[in-house]
């Protein structure tokens, strides 16, 4: 499910950029909580001594926003307009704050007033138009968003098989057939997400639906050709009525199916819950817990996969924080339990990861929108319930899986981007058949609707 909090992702970056106009009191805006409060107090002293110092007032308001003190920011911006009523950027910032607080009509007033101000800078006008469009969208009871991505991916070990032919089975060495070892391949893919929401008119409660789909076709390993679709549907509740501002709790049903090598592979029904919380303007918490019952279907290529039929429980949580104007960091926590008919296939895994995203100015004049680099590293530990008698009758399988990933995103337009992704994934297992490594490179084009 997609549970938005109404906070534009670019807000913190925009606020930080606005903190250092020409002639501002400070060229750098602090980001730590204590540093923000200290800077806010220092700027308040300056404002009391020099009430007409608009640069100090602007920085004070911006720092107040970053510290979560919206009332101080709003009152300061409004006082600035008394001294200088023709400041389109101040009107923009006031509009953004009221938008942030959900006062859409007041936000619209300041945005329109900004456009009516003489000599509006082009960047201010562009942001105002974006927010006015967002207000129109938010005031519609029904909303629709979609992303579509197409691309190609190369993998050195597309089938996640052992790199060598020699494996140990129950204390004896065997030589695998070449087709049972890791094979490189390239595939084309299409992926998408369609999100719909209907405002129930009850203090921010929604009915939300998400459709995810993915399809991949391989050049050589056609048995890996994949088709996947998943629909989630259910209500989400605004918890502000309980004193939890910027918090949504969603519950939903899950309906999914997978095809592998052009045959039905599995289907699933389930339910989930998702909590999205924004404790402050810089921090976001996104956690979900899901249960699925999965039915697997035996095929010619996968004749025993029905042994994996059973319940699947999954927990995933991401905590992200804007640590500066350019940098955003995140921490991941992952856990799942797979119940199966055959105990040697039943597993529990626990892991996590860390990641950062860096936004920077475009080095290409013809592509003026900011680029971004994303880096992530993670680890999973997987334990199986019982030994597999065909591989090791005395010891259950355990796996250590790690990955590092890097991605570059280049916006070509506001709704269209190209991405380049590289990843290295390594799994070590006490079962030779489950030990592998894989390096992949991917290029994709993404369109937002």
Looking at residue 104, its pLDDT comes to: 82
What CATH number is attached to the domain comprising 69?
Answer: 1.25.40.10
pTM of the model: 0.74
Looking at residue 33, its pLDDT comes to: 64
| Ranges 91-100, 155-164, 353-362, 405-414: which has the least confidence | 91-100
Q: Tell me which of 226 and 129 has the higher pLDDT.
A: 226
Q: Is residue 1 part of a domain?
A: no
Residues 218 and 168 in one domain: yes
Q: How far is it, in rounded angstroms, from Cα 86 to Cα 113?
A: 9
Residues 114 and 209 in one domain: no
Residues 174 and 74 in one domain: no
**Cβ atoms of 107 and 99 closer than 8 Å:** yes
Helix, strand, coil abundance in the chain, percent, nearest 5 = 25, 45, 30
Looking at residue 6, its pLDDT comes to: 33
Number of domains in the chain: 2
Q: Is residue 48 part of a domain?
A: yes
Residues 85 and 177 in one domain: no
Residues 60 and 85 in one domain: yes
For tokens 């106009």, name the residue.
21
Residues 133 and 146 in one domain: no
Looking at residue 3, its pLDDT comes to: 40
Give the end of a domain, one of 110, 138, 166: 138
Q: Is residue 257 part of a domain?
A: yes
Residues 17 and 150 in one domain: no
Give the end of a domain, one of 90, 105, 138: 138
The CA–CA distances, whole Å, from 119 to 79, 114, 115, 156, 356 equal 21, 10, 9, 56, 38
| Ranges 6-10, 201-205, 251-255, 256-260: which has the least confidence | 6-10
Is residue 296 over pLDDT 90? yes
**Cβ atoms of 65 and 15 closer than 8 Å:** yes
The CA–CA distances, whole Å, from 269 to 193, 345, 366, 426 equal 19, 20, 48, 31
Residue 115 domain boundaries? 11-138
Is residue 185 over pLDDT 90? yes
Give the end of a domain, one of 81, 110, 138: 138
Residues 345 and 435 in one domain: yes
Mean pLDDT of all residues in the chain? 88
Q: What is the dihedral of CA 384, 386, 387, 390, to 10 degrees?
A: -100
Q: How far is it, in rounded angstroms, from Cα 129 to Cα 136?
A: 11
Is residue 22 over pLDDT 50? no
Is residue 16 over pLDDT 60? no
pLDDT interval class at 449 (50, 70, 90): very high
> Stretch 148-163: mean pLDDT, rounded?
96
Strand, helix or coil for residue 72 = helix
Q: Is residue 2 part of a domain?
A: no
Residues 184 and 296 in one domain: yes
**Cβ atoms of 278 and 301 closer than 8 Å:** no
Using alpha carbons, select from 434, 437, 438, 381 the residue that is nearest to residue 167: 434
Is residue 29 over pLDDT 90? no
Is residue 435 over pLDDT 70? yes
Residues 96 and 121 in one domain: yes
Q: Is residue 117 part of a domain?
A: yes
The string of DSSP codes covering 292-345 is: EEEEE---SSSTTGGGG-EEEEEEEEEEEEE-SSSEEEEEEEEEEEE--SSGGG
For tokens 């993998």, name the residue.
155
- Exposure letters 222-238 (e unless 16+ CB within 10 A, then b): eebbbbbebbbebebbb
Q: Is residue 5 part of a domain?
A: no
Element (H, E) at 443: strand 436-448
Q: Is residue 272 part of a domain?
A: yes
Looking at residue 56, its pLDDT comes to: 81
> Stretch 408-418: mean pLDDT, rounded?
95
Residue 213 tokens read as 């789909």
The string of DSSP codes covering 377-441 is: EEEEEEEESS--TTT-SSS--EEEEEEEEEEEEEEEETTEEEEEEEEEEEEEESSGGG-EEEEEE
What CATH number is attached to the domain comprising 337?
Answer: 2.40.160.40
pLDDT interval class at 20 (50, 70, 90): very low
Is residue 317 over pLDDT 70? yes
The CA–CA distances, whole Å, from 361 to 21, 79, 127, 371 equal 17, 33, 17, 6
Residues 373 and 392 in one domain: yes
Residues 114 and 181 in one domain: no
Q: Tell me which of 8 and 190 has the higher pLDDT.
A: 190
Q: Is residue 6 part of a domain?
A: no
pLDDT interval class at 23 (50, 70, 90): very low
Residue 264 tokens read as 């039905």
């Amino acid at each position: 499910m997609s549970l938005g909090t109404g906070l534009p992702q670019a807000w913190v970056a925009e606020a930080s950029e606005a903190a250092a106009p020409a002639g501002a009191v400070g060229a750098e805006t602090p980001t730590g909580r204590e540093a923000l409060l200290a800077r806010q107090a220092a700027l308040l002293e300056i404002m009391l001594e020099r009430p007409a110092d608009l640069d100090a007032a602007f920085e004070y308001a911006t720092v107040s926003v970053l510290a979560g003190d919206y009332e101080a920011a709003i009152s300061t911006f409004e006082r600035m307009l008394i001294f200088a009523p023709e400041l389109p950027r101040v009107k923009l910032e006031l509009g953004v704050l009221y938008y942030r607080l959900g006062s859409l009509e007041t936000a619209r007033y300041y945005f329109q007033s900004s456009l009516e101000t003489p000599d509006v800078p082009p960047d201010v006008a562009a942001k105002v138009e974006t927010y006015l469009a967002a207000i129109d969208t938010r005031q519609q009871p029904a909303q629709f968003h979609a992303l579509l991505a197409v691309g190609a991916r190369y993998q050195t070990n597309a089938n996640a098989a052992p790199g060598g032919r020699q494996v140990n089975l129950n204390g004896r060495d065997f030589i695998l057939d070449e087709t049972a070892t890791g094979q490189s391949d390239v595939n084309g893919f299409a992926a998408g997400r369609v999100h719909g929401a209907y405002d129930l008119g009850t203090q921010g409660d929604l009915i939300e639906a998400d459709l995810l789909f993915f399809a991949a076709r391989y050049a050589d390993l056609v048995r890996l050709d994949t088709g996947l679709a998943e629909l989630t549907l259910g209500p989400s509740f605004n918890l502000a009525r309980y004193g939890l501002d910027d918090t949504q709790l969603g519950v939903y049903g899950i309906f999914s199916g997978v095809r592998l090598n052009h045959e039905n592979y599995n289907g699933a029904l389930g339910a989930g819950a998702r909590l999205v919380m924004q404790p402050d303007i810089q921090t976001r918490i996104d956690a979900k817990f899901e249960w699925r019952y999965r039915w697997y279907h035996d095929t010619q290529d996968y004749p025993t996969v029905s042994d994996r039929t059973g319940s699947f429980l999954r927990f995933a949580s991401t905590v992200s924080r804007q640590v500066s104007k350019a940098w955003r960091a995140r921490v991941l926590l992952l856990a799942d339990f797979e119940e199966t008919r055959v105990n040697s296939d039943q597993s529990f895994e626990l892991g996590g990861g860390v990641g950062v995203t860096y936004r920077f100015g475009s080095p290409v004049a013809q592509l003026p929108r900011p680029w971004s680099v994303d880096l992530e590293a993670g680890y999973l530990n997987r334990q199986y319930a019982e030994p597999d008698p065909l591989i090791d009758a005395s010891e259950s399988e355990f796996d250590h899986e790690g990955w590092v990933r890097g991605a570059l995103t280049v916006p070509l337009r506001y709704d269209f981007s190209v991405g380049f992704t590289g990843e290295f994934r390594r799994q070590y297992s006490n079962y030779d058949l489950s030990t592998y490594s894989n390096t992949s490179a991917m290029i994709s084009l993404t369109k937002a609707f």
